[in-house]
Amino acid sequence: MTHQVPAGIGTRPHSARLYDFFLGGKTNYAADRKVAVESLRQFPHAMVAARQNRAFMHRVVRHLARDHGMRQFLDIGTGIPTAPNLHQVAQAEQPGARVVYSDNDPLVLAHARALMNSTPEGATDYIEADVREPEVILEHARSTLDFSRPVALSVIALFHFLPEEDAPYGIIRHLMDALPSGSALALSHATEEFDPEGMRRIVATYRAGGVNLTLRSHKEVLTFFEGLDLVDPGLAATCDWRLDLDTDDVPQLPGMVSPAESGVWAGLAFKP
Ligand SMILES: C[S@@+](CC[C@H](N)C(=O)[O-])C[C@H]1O[C@@H](n2cnc3c(N)ncnc32)[C@H](O)[C@@H]1O
Protein backbone atom coordinates (compact mmCIF):
# COMPACT_ATOMS: atom_id res chain seq x y z
CA MET A 1 0.00 0.00 0.00
CA THR A 2 1.75 3.19 -1.13
CA HIS A 3 -0.08 6.48 -1.20
CA GLN A 4 0.93 9.81 -2.60
CA VAL A 5 2.06 12.39 -0.11
CA PRO A 6 -0.72 15.03 -0.13
CA ALA A 7 0.31 18.44 -1.49
CA GLY A 8 1.18 21.07 1.11
CA ILE A 9 1.68 18.48 3.85
CA GLY A 10 5.08 19.78 5.00
CA THR A 11 4.11 23.39 5.53
CA ARG A 12 3.09 22.96 9.19
CA PRO A 13 4.81 20.89 11.87
CA HIS A 14 3.10 17.66 12.93
CA SER A 15 3.63 15.58 16.07
CA ALA A 16 4.38 12.39 14.07
CA ARG A 17 7.23 14.09 12.21
CA LEU A 18 8.67 15.80 15.29
CA TYR A 19 8.81 12.36 16.92
CA ASP A 20 10.36 10.90 13.77
CA PHE A 21 13.08 13.57 13.94
CA PHE A 22 13.80 12.78 17.61
CA LEU A 23 14.07 9.07 16.76
CA GLY A 24 16.64 9.92 14.07
CA GLY A 25 14.24 9.36 11.14
CA LYS A 26 14.21 11.18 7.82
CA THR A 27 10.46 11.44 7.28
CA ASN A 28 10.13 15.06 8.34
CA TYR A 29 10.13 18.50 6.75
CA ALA A 30 11.91 21.81 7.35
CA ALA A 31 8.89 23.11 9.32
CA ASP A 32 9.12 20.06 11.62
CA ARG A 33 12.88 20.32 12.00
CA LYS A 34 12.64 23.99 12.96
CA VAL A 35 10.35 23.19 15.90
CA ALA A 36 12.30 20.02 16.75
CA VAL A 37 15.62 21.83 16.93
CA GLU A 38 14.12 24.60 19.06
CA SER A 39 12.58 21.90 21.30
CA LEU A 40 16.04 20.38 21.75
CA ARG A 41 17.36 23.77 22.71
CA GLN A 42 14.62 24.10 25.32
CA PHE A 43 14.65 20.46 26.46
CA PRO A 44 17.92 18.79 25.46
CA HIS A 45 16.64 15.35 26.47
CA ALA A 46 13.95 15.19 23.78
CA MET A 47 15.79 12.54 21.75
CA VAL A 48 16.41 10.42 24.83
CA ALA A 49 12.75 10.80 25.80
CA ALA A 50 11.56 9.66 22.35
CA ARG A 51 13.86 6.65 22.36
CA GLN A 52 12.82 5.69 25.89
CA ASN A 53 9.20 5.86 24.83
CA ARG A 54 9.84 3.68 21.77
CA ALA A 55 11.77 1.19 23.94
CA PHE A 56 8.74 1.00 26.26
CA MET A 57 6.62 0.08 23.22
CA HIS A 58 9.05 -2.71 22.33
CA ARG A 59 9.11 -4.10 25.89
CA VAL A 60 5.40 -3.95 26.54
CA VAL A 61 4.46 -5.51 23.17
CA ARG A 62 7.06 -8.25 23.50
CA HIS A 63 5.82 -8.94 27.04
CA LEU A 64 2.17 -9.10 25.92
CA ALA A 65 2.93 -11.44 23.01
CA ARG A 66 5.48 -13.66 24.73
CA ASP A 67 4.30 -13.81 28.34
CA HIS A 68 0.54 -13.28 27.91
CA GLY A 69 0.10 -14.98 24.54
CA MET A 70 -1.53 -11.84 23.12
CA ARG A 71 -2.18 -12.30 19.39
CA GLN A 72 -4.27 -9.21 18.56
CA PHE A 73 -3.18 -5.57 18.74
CA LEU A 74 -4.96 -2.31 17.98
CA ASP A 75 -2.32 0.42 17.81
CA ILE A 76 -3.65 3.98 17.62
CA GLY A 77 -1.24 6.89 17.08
CA THR A 78 1.16 4.50 15.34
CA GLY A 79 3.64 7.10 14.12
CA ILE A 80 5.80 7.07 11.02
CA PRO A 81 7.15 3.54 10.52
CA THR A 82 10.38 2.95 12.47
CA ALA A 83 11.80 -0.56 12.55
CA PRO A 84 11.02 -2.57 14.43
CA ASN A 85 7.37 -1.62 14.16
CA LEU A 86 4.85 -3.02 16.60
CA HIS A 87 3.81 -5.98 14.42
CA GLN A 88 7.44 -7.00 13.95
CA VAL A 89 7.94 -7.11 17.73
CA ALA A 90 4.67 -9.02 18.27
CA GLN A 91 5.13 -11.43 15.36
CA ALA A 92 8.68 -12.29 16.46
CA GLU A 93 6.97 -13.90 19.48
CA GLN A 94 3.62 -14.83 17.92
CA PRO A 95 3.97 -15.26 14.15
CA GLY A 96 0.17 -15.41 13.84
CA ALA A 97 -0.34 -12.03 15.56
CA ARG A 98 -2.84 -9.68 13.89
CA VAL A 99 -2.25 -5.92 14.12
CA VAL A 100 -4.41 -2.96 13.12
CA TYR A 101 -2.64 0.39 12.96
CA SER A 102 -4.23 3.84 12.95
CA ASP A 103 -2.94 7.42 12.81
CA ASN A 104 -4.30 10.79 11.69
CA ASP A 105 -1.16 11.99 9.89
CA PRO A 106 -1.53 11.43 6.11
CA LEU A 107 2.23 10.98 5.91
CA VAL A 108 1.95 7.76 7.96
CA LEU A 109 -0.46 6.40 5.35
CA ALA A 110 2.01 7.34 2.62
CA HIS A 111 4.58 5.10 4.33
CA ALA A 112 2.15 2.39 5.40
CA ARG A 113 3.82 -0.20 3.16
CA ALA A 114 6.39 -0.68 5.95
CA LEU A 115 3.50 -1.57 8.28
CA MET A 116 2.03 -4.10 5.88
CA ASN A 117 4.88 -6.62 5.72
CA SER A 118 3.16 -9.12 7.97
CA THR A 119 4.21 -12.70 8.46
CA PRO A 120 2.14 -15.02 6.21
CA GLU A 121 0.43 -16.50 9.30
CA GLY A 122 -0.47 -13.12 10.77
CA ALA A 123 -2.07 -9.97 9.36
CA THR A 124 -1.66 -6.21 9.49
CA ASP A 125 -3.96 -3.44 8.42
CA TYR A 126 -3.95 0.35 8.54
CA ILE A 127 -6.66 2.98 8.78
CA GLU A 128 -6.09 6.72 8.59
CA ALA A 129 -8.39 8.04 11.30
CA ASP A 130 -8.56 10.35 14.26
CA VAL A 131 -8.73 8.77 17.71
CA ARG A 132 -11.48 11.29 18.52
CA GLU A 133 -13.68 9.11 16.29
CA PRO A 134 -13.12 5.79 18.05
CA GLU A 135 -16.11 4.09 16.42
CA VAL A 136 -14.62 4.61 12.94
CA ILE A 137 -11.43 2.85 14.07
CA LEU A 138 -13.30 0.03 15.84
CA GLU A 139 -15.52 -0.57 12.83
CA HIS A 140 -12.51 -0.87 10.55
CA ALA A 141 -10.54 -3.02 13.03
CA ARG A 142 -13.36 -5.58 13.21
CA SER A 143 -12.48 -6.85 9.75
CA THR A 144 -9.00 -7.92 10.93
CA LEU A 145 -9.44 -8.50 14.67
CA ASP A 146 -11.82 -10.88 16.42
CA PHE A 147 -13.43 -8.80 19.17
CA SER A 148 -14.66 -11.89 20.97
CA ARG A 149 -11.02 -12.62 21.88
CA PRO A 150 -8.57 -10.41 23.84
CA VAL A 151 -7.10 -7.43 22.06
CA ALA A 152 -4.24 -5.24 23.30
CA LEU A 153 -5.01 -1.57 22.74
CA SER A 154 -1.80 0.42 22.50
CA VAL A 155 -1.98 4.18 22.68
CA ILE A 156 1.63 5.08 23.20
CA ALA A 157 2.55 8.76 23.42
CA LEU A 158 -0.82 9.72 21.94
CA PHE A 159 -3.18 11.12 24.54
CA HIS A 160 -1.02 14.13 25.47
CA PHE A 161 -2.11 15.48 22.06
CA LEU A 162 -5.71 15.54 23.30
CA PRO A 163 -6.82 18.42 25.54
CA GLU A 164 -9.60 17.97 28.11
CA GLU A 165 -12.24 19.28 25.69
CA ASP A 166 -11.67 16.21 23.51
CA ALA A 167 -12.80 14.03 26.45
CA PRO A 168 -9.70 11.79 26.35
CA TYR A 169 -10.78 9.55 29.27
CA GLY A 170 -14.13 8.88 27.59
CA ILE A 171 -12.35 7.85 24.38
CA ILE A 172 -10.30 5.21 26.20
CA ARG A 173 -13.45 3.96 27.94
CA HIS A 174 -15.26 3.75 24.59
CA LEU A 175 -12.42 1.73 23.07
CA MET A 176 -11.97 -0.60 26.06
CA ASP A 177 -15.74 -1.15 26.32
CA ALA A 178 -15.64 -2.68 22.84
CA LEU A 179 -13.00 -5.24 23.88
CA PRO A 180 -13.60 -8.43 25.89
CA SER A 181 -12.27 -9.48 29.27
CA GLY A 182 -8.54 -10.29 29.14
CA SER A 183 -7.87 -7.37 26.78
CA ALA A 184 -5.03 -5.00 27.65
CA LEU A 185 -4.31 -1.28 27.63
CA ALA A 186 -0.70 -0.16 27.07
CA LEU A 187 -0.39 3.59 27.40
CA SER A 188 2.33 6.18 27.78
CA HIS A 189 1.81 9.89 28.38
CA ALA A 190 4.05 12.94 28.79
CA THR A 191 4.12 14.64 32.19
CA GLU A 192 5.69 17.72 33.72
CA GLU A 193 6.20 16.01 37.06
CA PHE A 194 9.83 14.98 36.49
CA ASP A 195 11.14 18.25 35.02
CA PRO A 196 8.48 20.98 35.28
CA GLU A 197 10.61 23.75 33.76
CA GLY A 198 11.97 21.73 30.84
CA MET A 199 8.57 20.29 29.96
CA ARG A 200 6.84 23.67 30.15
CA ARG A 201 9.41 25.02 27.72
CA ILE A 202 8.78 22.17 25.29
CA VAL A 203 5.02 22.71 25.53
CA ALA A 204 5.53 26.39 24.68
CA THR A 205 7.80 25.53 21.73
CA TYR A 206 5.31 22.99 20.34
CA ARG A 207 2.43 25.44 20.82
CA ALA A 208 4.32 28.18 18.96
CA GLY A 209 4.59 25.69 16.09
CA GLY A 210 0.85 24.94 16.25
CA VAL A 211 1.10 21.55 18.03
CA ASN A 212 -0.78 21.40 21.33
CA LEU A 213 0.53 19.23 24.14
CA THR A 214 -1.43 18.57 27.34
CA LEU A 215 0.82 17.21 30.07
CA ARG A 216 -0.85 15.16 32.80
CA SER A 217 0.07 14.16 36.32
CA HIS A 218 0.46 10.63 37.71
CA LYS A 219 -3.04 10.91 39.17
CA GLU A 220 -4.54 12.12 35.89
CA VAL A 221 -2.81 9.44 33.81
CA LEU A 222 -4.05 6.80 36.26
CA THR A 223 -7.59 7.88 35.33
CA PHE A 224 -7.06 6.34 31.86
CA PHE A 225 -6.73 2.96 33.59
CA GLU A 226 -9.90 3.22 35.70
CA GLY A 227 -11.77 -0.10 35.90
CA LEU A 228 -8.71 -2.02 34.69
CA ASP A 229 -6.11 -4.02 36.63
CA LEU A 230 -2.80 -2.19 36.39
CA VAL A 231 0.12 -4.63 36.55
CA ASP A 232 3.42 -4.14 38.41
CA PRO A 233 5.18 -1.75 38.66
CA GLY A 234 2.05 0.37 38.11
CA LEU A 235 2.49 3.68 36.38
CA ALA A 236 6.25 4.29 36.07
CA ALA A 237 8.58 6.49 34.06
CA THR A 238 9.26 4.86 30.67
CA CYS A 239 12.95 4.56 31.63
CA ASP A 240 12.01 2.50 34.70
CA TRP A 241 9.16 0.35 33.38
CA ARG A 242 10.14 -3.35 33.51
CA LEU A 243 13.75 -3.04 32.39
CA ASP A 244 14.06 -6.76 33.16
CA LEU A 245 12.09 -7.38 29.95
CA ASP A 246 14.71 -5.70 27.77
CA THR A 247 16.33 -8.25 25.52
CA ASP A 248 18.00 -5.83 23.14
CA ASP A 249 21.70 -6.21 22.39
CA VAL A 250 22.56 -3.23 24.57
CA PRO A 251 20.45 -3.69 27.69
CA GLN A 252 19.39 -0.63 29.58
CA LEU A 253 20.57 -0.70 33.15
CA PRO A 254 18.49 0.71 35.99
CA GLY A 255 19.40 4.36 36.61
CA MET A 256 21.11 4.79 33.23
CA VAL A 257 18.41 7.27 32.20
CA SER A 258 16.53 9.42 34.71
CA PRO A 259 12.77 10.15 34.71
CA ALA A 260 13.65 13.83 34.17
CA GLU A 261 15.22 12.86 30.85
CA SER A 262 12.42 10.53 29.78
CA GLY A 263 9.50 12.77 30.79
CA VAL A 264 6.77 10.18 30.17
CA TRP A 265 4.58 7.92 32.34
CA ALA A 266 3.98 4.36 31.15
CA GLY A 267 1.69 1.56 32.25
CA LEU A 268 0.02 -1.72 31.30
CA ALA A 269 -3.36 -2.94 32.54
CA PHE A 270 -5.79 -5.77 31.82
CA LYS A 271 -9.55 -5.72 31.59
CA PRO A 272 -11.00 -7.96 34.31
C1 LIG B 1 4.71 10.74 19.53
S2 LIG B 1 4.02 9.82 18.21
C3 LIG B 1 3.97 8.18 18.92
C4 LIG B 1 4.16 7.07 17.91
C5 LIG B 1 4.14 5.64 18.46
N6 LIG B 1 2.88 5.36 19.13
C7 LIG B 1 5.27 5.42 19.43
O8 LIG B 1 5.03 5.57 20.63
O9 LIG B 1 6.37 5.12 19.01
C10 LIG B 1 2.29 10.30 18.31
C11 LIG B 1 1.47 9.85 17.13
O12 LIG B 1 0.10 10.16 17.42
C13 LIG B 1 -0.50 10.64 16.23
N14 LIG B 1 -1.66 11.48 16.59
C15 LIG B 1 -1.67 12.70 17.19
N16 LIG B 1 -2.93 13.13 17.36
C17 LIG B 1 -3.74 12.14 16.88
C18 LIG B 1 -5.15 11.99 16.78
N19 LIG B 1 -5.99 12.94 17.21
N20 LIG B 1 -5.64 10.84 16.22
C21 LIG B 1 -4.81 9.89 15.77
N22 LIG B 1 -3.46 9.97 15.83
C23 LIG B 1 -2.93 11.09 16.38
C24 LIG B 1 0.60 11.42 15.54
O25 LIG B 1 0.34 11.56 14.15
C26 LIG B 1 1.81 10.57 15.85
O27 LIG B 1 2.06 9.63 14.84
Ordered DSSP codes for 78-116: --S--SSPHHHHHHHH-TT-EEEEEES-HHHHHTGGGG-
Q: Is the CB of 79 under 6 A from ligand 1?
A: yes
Choose the residue to mutate in 104, 140, 153, 188 for probing ligand 1, maximizing ligand atoms within 8 Å of C-beta: 104
- Residue 26: is it exposed, middle or buried by C-beta count within 10 angstroms (0-12/13-18/19+)? exposed
Residues 6+ apart with CB under 8 A from 66: 93, 94
Q: What is the CATH architecture assignment of 9-243+257-270?
A: 3-Layer(aba) Sandwich (3.40)
180 vs 83, residue with greater confidence: 180
Choose the residue to mutate in 103, 165, 211 for probing ligand 1, maximizing ligand atoms within 8 Å of C-beta: 103
pLDDT tier at 115 (50, 70, 90 boundaries)?
confident
Enumerate the domain spans of the chain.
9-243+257-270
Q: For 205-264, how does the pLDDT look when each residue is reduced to its tens digit (9 = 90+)? A: 999 999 999 999 999 999 999 999 999 999 999 999 999 887 665 667 778 899 999 999
Pairing state of beta strands 184-190 and 152-156? parallel
